[in-house]
Amino acid sequence: FAVGSVRADDIISAFTQRNDLLDLLAVGDNVVVPKLGSGFEIVDGTSFAAPAVAGAAALIYSISSSFNAIDVASILKTSGATNHDDNSVSGRTTDLSYSRLNVLAAVELAKARSTSTTSALNTRDTTIIDSAYDSAGILHVSWYDKQNGDLMYATQNTSGK
């Protein structure tokens, strides 16, 4: 699981490696940390973004010990805000989109997923046959449309669109 750094204004840090292997962004620029001896200092680096993600993963796992690593990764990526790496950003850009850590949204999503006892949902006109999140945090849903007699499929990307 690869973590990159983003500034407080959601600009991807210049030192972050950008490619399709990057999984999640977290604040890693201008992080205040204790200074050896006494006091505090301001530091930068993905080494300071990764602990925030690890802490969020621990919170998610504490909600339900039945979550596995893929579940936790899916929750972290799905609940985060989308950060698009484009020409409005300084430095080398990729035109890829990454999810930025949102701890509160991740905890809320984990609570919602942990209380679900089944993936089948019934409505008046349709029955959802199955729904699942893949390893990239993308929701896939299939259902039978009773009115038209069709088997339907839809997906939703991590930005909710």
pLDDT per position as a tens digit, 56-66: 999 999 998 88
> Rounded mean pLDDT of the chain?
81
3-state secondary structure of 60: helix
Amino acid at 90: S
Q: How confident is the model at residue 150 (pLDDT cuts 50, 70, 90)?
A: confident
Residue 43 has pLDDT above 70, yes or no: yes
Torsion (CA) 74, 75, 77, 82 in degrees, nearest 10? 140
**142 vs 42, more confident:** 42
Q: How high is the pLDDT of residue 112?
A: 84
The predicted-structure confidence for 97-126, as pLDDT tens digits, reads as follows 888 999 998 998 888 888 754 444 445 555
Q: How high is the pLDDT of residue 45?
A: 92
Question: Which of 82, 70, 25, 78 is CA-nearest to residue 52?
Answer: 25
pTM for the full predicted model = 0.69
Residue 138 has pLDDT above 90, yes or no: no
